[in-house]
Chain A
Amino acid sequence: MGRFILRRVLLAIVTLFLLSLIVFVSAQVLPGDVARNILGPFADQRSVDQLNERLGTDRSIIVQYWDWITGVLTGDMGVSLAFRRPVEDVIGPALVNSAKLALLAFLIVVPLAVIGGVYAALREGSFRDRLISIGGLSATAIPDFVWAVLMILIFALTLGIFPSTATAPPGSNFFEEVWYLILPALCLVFVLFGYIARMARAGTVEALDADYTRTAVIKGLPQRTVVRRHVLRNSLLPTIAVVATQLGYLFGGLVVIELIFNYNGLGQTLVEAAQQKDFPLLQSGILIIGIVYLVATLVADIMYSVLNPRVRLGSEA
């Protein structure tokens, strides 16, 4: 296991390096000039040139990349070109916000979807199965921005139960912050429920049909024991993989939800960085999301091996 984790970490470093290169090159081909994007199209060309010089964006791209990557290796992510503050200061609060929302949505949707999927599989073909499967799929098919607007219209503007924004006022306590995050988190639950529940259902149906389950039933084990010991351990494997890949989305892909609920998260921050060609900010943000993805898939792999010892990891196979 130790060797497996070490190998995965080394691979992750190579992946992150390649990712940084790809993002860097992509950022270079984006149209526009950094200072021009910051100062606007109507700014005097002398101001644009002067700002490019001050920001260092008039240097060759290799020098810029080298400066940034060597800085990152020493723990310095550089200075945001647009905000002219250390990248950590811009990205830190956004990352914390994204983590809060992702965690809340995760804590609601994963247990709910897994229970829903397993429950539907155990009652395969019944009305409840169809309700969960079709209902979940329909909820997933509706885009997140539609959910966001609907939730605000119903629960904030019409019923007045929840706030229409996700940003709690300064000085709010933990519970107040959670209260402000419930509507956006519910939007994510609707978007992700159908997908995760479907995976859990499919895995459970497959496990229920497996020989080892039949053997356990023939042995006379109670259904609850069969499900807990034999079905769930196997049926949740694909679900874990799906959940792991959704973590990256929850951290950095919630642009529209963040915009509608006016929530300063990582997704919104990165879109602005891309629009302004704020390379240090964009690059660092994407690296962070990359790390989240890699850590999530690593944890998923480890959970795989714990839940199903038949799955051998790496060179230990």
Chain B
Amino acid sequence: MHPKQDQVDAVRARRSELENHLIDEYRAGKIGRREFVRRGALVGMSLPLVTFLATACGVSTEDLEETDKPQTAEPKQGGTIRVGEQEPAGALDPVTVNNLGGLVVLAQTGEFLVTSDPRLRLVPRLAESWKPNADGSVWTFKLRRGVKFHDGKVMDAEDVATTFDRLADPDGGSNALSVFTGVLSKGGTKAVDANTVEFQLDAPNGNFPYLISSDNYNAIILPKTYDGDWEKTFIGTGPWKLDRFRPAEGVDFVPFKEYWDPRGRAITNKNELKFYADEQGLVLGFQGNEFDACVQYSVSGGKALLTDDTVITHELRAASHRQIHMRTDKEPFRDKRVRQAMALLVDRQALVDGLLDTKADYGNDSPFAPVYRSTAELEQRQRDVAKAKELLRAAGKEDGFSVELNTWQGFEMPDLAQLLQQMVREAGIRINLDITDSATYYGEATFGNSRWLDSTMGITEYGHRGVPNVLLGAPLLSDGTWNSAHFKNKRYDQLVADYVAAVDLDAQRRIAKEIQLLLLDEVPIMFTYFYYFLSGSKDYVSGVVTNPMGQMDVSRAGFV
């Protein structure tokens, strides 16, 4: 008997069925230690408790090593940390922000109930703990006490409930509606008491804490009195507060002296965020020491930084990807054998090595990126020209065909389109490229008014998500609003509903495997790679933490 078995038993007696199931999975070796910690946090176990259980029930040697690239020196107090990032597009309003530039600003002064860390684990922030009911349809969050907004007012459950009501309001112009539709409605968030908030969901959801975490970058907690003029105050509860906003140029922040976490207070005296409208300018500025940390750069645009000895590049595995859709309701892709042939003609290794300088994971034609813990391990689809030709012959397309591929002039997508064009040529398939600007490609983003949603074949960029829920839904469900492949499959729809509702990892993995196999067979969309999130800091700086969503935290960063 394990020396701590009595304590474990005592703990288990007070835990829910779901939590005990998770402990059983861990003890049975079905999940590793790291995964146990991650899932434990998801179902609401506190970090000390989950760490205790991980040790007491330990069967895995998997370590709990932290996420950051090792920084050897302790940062010194003082100085000004300067961060360079993409200029926010449009007004800075937590309710409507929809771009990297904006979300980075939000995360400087704002905080979330829960933070998704660089390895996609949930870390308590403004919420101390959380717990679902038996079927995952009601989630209760206990809030941290003594948290103050920058105007000195104390945060309470009413502030939290109002924040989420605002985000779930269909008439509020909220960017978070794409996450909350079918999950959380306006009025679904209730303040139980001053420090307890209850979310009554539209349907059971096992990954709900992720949907209100930093993954949902709009979900910073705002005062209940917030009236939409955020640029004047940048109000939040975070370790930095607004000093000066220079539109189109940057924002200066100073430490918030009443920040609730004494160990999280800013090390430097100032945080200067500088905006860059163009990646080339950003990279040249970073090389020229105009700032000390860079939120993001691409492999193609940031090549000079990848080989710069003074820059430490932080590579984070992420779920960011490009979807190559094929209209399942139109020729030439009506027959799934043609779609399978297309997928077999793609040389994923060439894409990852050549296009992304190896800084990506291979995609296996489903949204289940390797970074997700629920992703089942299946045989990787590889290039097989002979098999592709065989499938085309069986589908009556042995002479190949012509098809138009639509995309827009952004990121590496035009290069990807050209490589695809070359890769499928061997099977007699002629891809004609139609590459436009983003406004033309997306149009009105509704069916019948958008190249994205109406084209026979297209390439679309999708950003990182901490869980695959959104990616499984809108782009692939029969009634999905982003279903560019026009894929309609009842079994898929049911599997996704089951996956979303599943609270325990075992069930999620089982369903995930079925979804992955179904999508490998149907191939409405080719997922060829999931590229890493690259950010950087100068070698004289330590303590910079970034997650794959792009939220860079420099509160504990300083100069060595």
On A, residues with C-beta under 8 Å from B are: 30-33, 35-48, 50-51, 54, 82-85, 89-90, 93-94, 149, 152, 156-157, 163-165, 167, 170, 258-262, 264, 268-269, 272, 275-277
Task: Point out the residues of chain B lying under 8 angstroms from A54, CB to CB.
Answer: 173
- Closest-by-CB residue of B relative to A169 is B272
Partner of B440, one of A32, A45, A272: A32
Question: Is B277's CB within 8 Å of the partner chain A?
Answer: yes
Please report the C-alpha to C-alpha distance between residue A54 and residue B252 in the assembled complex, in whole angstroms. Answer: 30
Question: Is B452's CB within 8 Å of the partner chain A?
Answer: yes
Partner of A41, one of B277, B290, B452: B452
Q: Are A85 and B281 in contact (CB under 8 A)?
A: no
Task: Point out the residues of chain B lying under 8 angstroms from A259, CB to CB.
Answer: 277-278, 280-281
Question: Is B285's CB within 8 Å of the partner chain A?
Answer: yes
Question: Is B73's CB within 8 Å of the partner chain A?
Answer: no
- Closest-by-CB residue of A relative to B96 is A39
Q: Are B284 and A152 in contact (CB under 8 A)?
A: yes
**CB-CB under 8 A for A85 and B98, given A164-B284, A259-B281:** no
Partner of A32, one of B275, B287, B442: B442
Instruction: For the complex formed, measure the closest distance between the CB of A155 and the CB atoms of chain B, giving whole angstroms.
Output: 10
Partner of B281, one of A33, A51, A165, A275: A165
Task: Point out the residues of chain A lying under 8 angstroms from B257, CB to CB.
Answer: none
Q: Are A262 and B277 in contact (CB under 8 A)?
A: yes
Question: Is B394's CB within 8 Å of the partner chain A?
Answer: no
- Interface locus among B12-20, B137-145, B175-183, B535-543: B175-183
On B, residues with C-beta under 8 Å from A are: 89-91, 93, 96, 98-99, 170-175, 177-178, 181, 231, 244, 246-249, 252, 274-278, 280-282, 284-285, 287-288, 290, 437-440, 442-446, 452, 474, 481-482
Task: Point out the residues of chain A lying under 8 angstroms from B284, CB to CB.
Answer: 149, 152, 156-157, 164, 260
- Closest-by-CB residue of B relative to A164 is B288
**CB-CB under 8 A for A264 and B248, given A41-B445, A164-B288, A272-B277:** yes
**CB-CB under 8 A for A157 and B280, given A31-B440, A85-B247, A170-B244:** no
Please report the C-alpha to C-alpha distance between residue A285 and residue B559 in the assembled complex, in whole angstroms. Answer: 42
Q: Are B177 and A47 in contact (CB under 8 A)?
A: yes
Q: Are B177 and A82 in contact (CB under 8 A)?
A: no
Task: Point out the residues of chain A lying under 8 angstroms from B247, CB to CB.
Answer: 83, 85, 89-90, 93
Jot down 15 A-B pairs with beta carbons below 8 A, ordered by A.
A31-B440, A42-B482, A43-B177, A45-B481, A46-B171, A47-B172, A82-B89, A93-B247, A149-B284, A165-B290, A170-B246, A259-B278, A260-B278, A260-B284, A262-B277
Instruction: For the complex formed, measure the closest distance between the CB of B149 and the CB atoms of chain A, giving whole angstroms.
Output: 22
Instruction: For the complex formed, measure the closest distance between the CB of A37 and the CB atoms of chain B, giving whole angstroms.
Output: 6
B244, B276, B439, B446 pick with most chain A CB within 10 angstroms: B439
Please report the C-alpha to C-alpha distance between residue A82 and residue B88 in the assembled complex, in whole angstroms. Answer: 11
**CB-CB under 8 A for A40 and B177, given A170-B252, A260-B284:** no
**CB-CB under 8 A for A44 and B177, given A32-B443, A38-B90, A39-B98:** yes
Task: Point out the residues of chain B lying under 8 angstroms from A47, CB to CB.
Answer: 96, 170, 172-175, 177
Q: Are B439 and A32 in contact (CB under 8 A)?
A: yes
Task: Point out the residues of chain A lying under 8 angstroms from B246, CB to CB.
Answer: 170
Please report the C-alpha to C-alpha distance between residue A84 and residue B280 in the assembled complex, in whole angstroms. Answer: 27
Q: Are A43 and B171 in contact (CB under 8 A)?
A: no
Task: Point out the residues of chain A lying under 8 angstroms from B96, CB to CB.
Answer: 38-39, 47, 51
Instruction: For the complex formed, measure the closest distance between the CB of B452 and the CB atoms of chain A, giving whole angstroms.
Output: 7
Task: Point out the residues of chain B lying under 8 angstroms from A51, CB to CB.
Answer: 96, 173
**CB-CB under 8 A for A85 and B91, given A46-B170, A262-B281:** yes
- Closest-by-CB residue of A relative to B276 is A262
Please report the C-alpha to C-alpha distance between residue A89 and residue B232 in the assembled complex, in whole angstroms. Answer: 14
Task: Point out the residues of chain B lying under 8 angstroms from A30, CB to CB.
Answer: 439
- Closest-by-CB residue of A relative to B98 is A40
- Closest-by-CB residue of B relative to A268 is B277
Identify whether the interface residues of A are mostly helix, strand, loop, or mixed: helix
Q: Are B439 and A31 in contact (CB under 8 A)?
A: yes
Given A40-B99, A276-B90, 8 more pairs with CB closer than 8 A: A32-B443, A39-B98, A42-B98, A44-B178, A48-B445, A164-B284, A170-B244, A262-B290
Q: Are B288 and A156 in contact (CB under 8 A)?
A: yes
Q: Are A41 and B442 in contact (CB under 8 A)?
A: yes
B248, B282, B452 pick with most chain A CB within 10 angstroms: B248
Instruction: For the complex formed, measure the closest distance between the CB of A85 and the CB atoms of chain B, giving whole angstroms.
Output: 7
Instruction: For the complex formed, measure the closest distance between the CB of B26 and the CB atoms of chain A, giving whole angstroms.
Output: 36
- Closest-by-CB residue of B relative to A39 is B98
Task: Point out the residues of chain A lying under 8 angstroms from B175, CB to CB.
Answer: 39-40, 43, 47
Partner of A163, one of B171, B231, B276, B288: B288
Please report the C-alpha to C-alpha distance between residue A268 and residue B87 in the assembled complex, in whole angstroms. Answer: 12
**CB-CB under 8 A for A37 and B249, given A50-B172, A262-B276:** no
Please report the C-alpha to C-alpha distance between residue A41 and residue B447 in the assembled complex, in whole angstroms. Answer: 12
**CB-CB under 8 A for A32 and B280, given A39-B175, A44-B178:** no
- Closest-by-CB residue of A relative to B281 is A262
- Closest-by-CB residue of A relative to B474 is A42
Instruction: For the complex formed, measure the closest distance between the CB of B74 and the CB atoms of chain A, giving whole angstroms.
Output: 27
Task: Point out the residues of chain B lying under 8 angstroms from A164, CB to CB.
Answer: 284-285, 287-288, 290
Please report the C-alpha to C-alpha distance between residue A170 and residue B274 in the assembled complex, in whole angstroms. Answer: 11
Task: Point out the residues of chain B lying under 8 angstroms from A31, CB to CB.
Answer: 437, 439-440, 443
Instruction: For the complex formed, measure the closest distance between the CB of A215 and the CB atoms of chain B, giving whole angstroms.
Output: 56
7 pairs of A and B residues whose beta carbons are closest in the complex: A164-B288, A32-B439, A44-B177, A259-B278, A41-B442, A40-B98, A84-B91
Instruction: For the complex formed, measure the closest distance between the CB of A294 and the CB atoms of chain B, giving whole angstroms.
Output: 27
Q: Are A93 and B248 in contact (CB under 8 A)?
A: yes
Q: Are B173 and A260 in contact (CB under 8 A)?
A: no
Please report the C-alpha to C-alpha distance between residue A84 and residue B246 in the assembled complex, in whole angstroms. Answer: 15
- Closest-by-CB residue of A relative to B180 is A44
Task: Point out the residues of chain B lying under 8 angstroms from A42, CB to CB.
Answer: 98, 178, 445, 474, 482
Instruction: For the complex formed, measure the closest distance between the CB of A191 and the CB atoms of chain B, giving whole angstroms.
Output: 18
**CB-CB under 8 A for A36 and B288, given A44-B181, A47-B174:** no
Instruction: For the complex formed, measure the closest distance between the CB of A72 and the CB atoms of chain B, giving whole angstroms.
Output: 21
Instruction: For the complex formed, measure the closest distance between the CB of B367 and the CB atoms of chain A, giving whole angstroms.
Output: 14
Q: Are A50 and B173 in contact (CB under 8 A)?
A: yes
Please report the C-alpha to C-alpha distance between residue A163 and residue B284 in the assembled complex, in whole angstroms. Answer: 10
Please report the C-alpha to C-alpha distance between residue A277 and residue B170 in the assembled complex, in whole angstroms. Answer: 24
Q: Are A261 and B281 in contact (CB under 8 A)?
A: yes
Task: Point out the residues of chain B lying under 8 angstroms from A258, CB to CB.
Answer: 277
Instruction: For the complex formed, measure the closest distance between the CB of A74 and the CB atoms of chain B, giving whole angstroms.
Output: 24
Task: Point out the residues of chain A lying under 8 angstroms from B288, CB to CB.
Answer: 152, 156-157, 163-165
Please report the C-alpha to C-alpha distance between residue A44 and residue B445 in the assembled complex, in whole angstroms. Answer: 10
Please report the C-alpha to C-alpha distance between residue A89 and residue B175 in the assembled complex, in whole angstroms. Answer: 25
Instruction: For the complex formed, measure the closest distance between the CB of B350 and the CB atoms of chain A, giving whole angstroms.
Output: 28
Please report the C-alpha to C-alpha distance between residue A262 and residue B249 in the assembled complex, in whole angstroms. Answer: 9
- Closest-by-CB residue of B relative to A278 is B90
Q: Are B444 and A33 in contact (CB under 8 A)?
A: yes
Please report the C-alpha to C-alpha distance between residue A264 and residue B481 in the assembled complex, in whole angstroms. Answer: 37
Please report the C-alpha to C-alpha distance between residue A44 and residue B276 in the assembled complex, in whole angstroms. Answer: 28
Task: Point out the residues of chain A lying under 8 angstroms from B285, CB to CB.
Answer: 164-165, 262
Please report the C-alpha to C-alpha distance between residue A227 and residue B207 in the assembled complex, in whole angstroms. Answer: 83
A42, A90, A94 pick with most chain B CB within 10 angstroms: A42
Task: Point out the residues of chain B lying under 8 angstroms from A170, CB to CB.
Answer: 244, 246, 252
Please report the C-alpha to C-alpha distance between residue A40 and residue B444 in the assembled complex, in whole angstroms. Answer: 10
Instruction: For the complex formed, measure the closest distance between the CB of B7 and the CB atoms of chain A, giving whole angstroms.
Output: 47
Please report the C-alpha to C-alpha distance between residue A42 and residue B89 in the assembled complex, in whole angstroms. Answer: 15
B277, B474, B482 pick with most chain A CB within 10 angstroms: B277
Q: Are B173 and A45 in contact (CB under 8 A)?
A: no
Task: Point out the residues of chain B lying under 8 angstroms from A277, CB to CB.
Answer: 439
A51, A85, A165, A260 pick with most chain B CB within 10 angstroms: A165
